[in-house]
A = this chain, B = another copy of it.
Amino acid sequence: MKKWNFFSGPAILPATVLQQAATAVIDFNGMGLSLLEISHRSKAFETVMNEARQLVRQLLQLTDDYEVLFLTGGASTQFALIPYNLLPHNATAAYLETGQWASNAIKEAALFGKVQVVASSADTLYNHIPKNYNVPADAAYFHITTNNTVFGTQMHDIPTISCPIVADMSSDIFSRPLTNLSSYGVIYAGAQKNMGAAGTTLVVVRKDLLNKTGRQIPSMFNYQTHIEHHSMFNTPPVFAVYVAYLTLQWIAEQGLENLAQKNTQKSQLLYHEIDRNTLFKGSVAIEDRSQMNVTFVCTRPELESEFLTFAEQNGCVGLKGYRKVGGYRASIYNAMELEGVQTLVQLMQEFEQRWA
């Protein structure tokens, strides 16, 4: 039976990427050596790193003002590195608190400077994206989370403000074309959703924002170090960068416009069923629903785990909601085929016929 993988991250990857990655573990580029055992300074790997960075430039249509870095430590490390690099001790950074990861980012920033939370949906368990708020014009930056993996909300509009936006795009990068590049100071994303395997983190940074804190920063935590060494200051996470490179190639072949259209189609199909089916209902405000992580609950709580078992027995895995939230979460990233969503919808209909 075909398995459909709805895990939220690490998450589904294109089958061709997995095949190429497995081959490289045994024999990379016909070199007769594994990708895991060659020097990261070999020409073969330097090409991978450079082309991966170039693909990001191309997909996001970056200007020369921006640098592309592949780092480690996940988005959680960036929660600290962003204020470390961008927030002077006496300055203020503005944050929009739309979920658990935004909340974690706020906590880390407070160690480096002043933090102003301009709006929060914490008191309604992050079931919507706050809309009416003011960002102080003199903020060092305004931090947003474009898609909230845990709760299933997504920002469909990016505000127009006068300070640079720092965006955690971990769970929706490359799911749609990027617009208004110049609004952004930093874009970052852990690879393990739309961009590859766990182990590397993409950071796109506008160079003119750096070196202004007056702070001495350890080499590995300083974006400038990695810019100067083209993400090769020390041994990079070779395999994770390679999988990101393969996934970026796949994304470029598909095209961001096409992927965006497909993502809209998949999420509309699933939300339509959630709204129609008497046994399910959506978890968040309709206008803020995520195209990547579809969260919903069972209207008859006694059947909650029953549906998970039923779905799993029929090939749909990874549907359990985040441990602190419960319910269901269907993550339908770029690599999820329409057929996977159709399968899930059909199982929801069969489940309704059986229990309603």
Q: Residues of A at under 8 Å CB distance from B?
A: 3, 5, 7-13, 18-19, 21-23, 25-26, 32-34, 36-41, 72-77, 79-80, 84, 104, 107-108, 111, 190, 192, 196-199, 216, 218-221, 233-240, 243, 317-318, 323
Q: What are 25 pairs between A and B in contact, CB < 8 Å?
A: A3-B32, A3-B33, A5-B38, A10-B38, A10-B39, A10-B40, A10-B235, A18-B26, A22-B23, A72-B74, A73-B77, A73-B220, A74-B220, A76-B220, A76-B234, A80-B219, A80-B220, A107-B219, A108-B218, A108-B219, A108-B220, A192-B238, A198-B236, A237-B237, A240-B240
Other than the known A5-B33, A37-B197, A77-B220, what 14 A-B pairs have Cβ atoms closer than 8 Å?
A7-B37, A19-B26, A36-B198, A38-B318, A39-B318, A72-B77, A74-B235, A80-B220, A84-B218, A111-B218, A192-B235, A192-B238, A198-B238, A239-B239
Cβ B80 vs Cβ A197 within 8 A: no
Q: Among A9, A11, A37, A237, which residue has the most Cβ atoms of chain B within 10 A?
A: A37
Q: Could you tell me the distance in whole angstroms from the C-beta of A181 to the nearest C-beta in chain B? A: 27
Question: Which 3 pairs, one residue from A and one from B, show the smallest C-beta to C-beta distance?
Answer: A80-B218, A199-B237, A22-B25
A199 to B235 Cα, complex, angstroms: 8
Q: Which of B41, B80, B197 contacts A238 (CB 8 A)?
A: B197
Closest to A19 in B: B26
A197 to B233 Cα, complex, angstroms: 17
| Chain B residues whose C-beta falls within 8 Å of the C-beta of A5 in the assembled complex | 33, 37-38
| Chain B residues whose C-beta falls within 8 Å of the C-beta of A108 in the assembled complex | 218-220
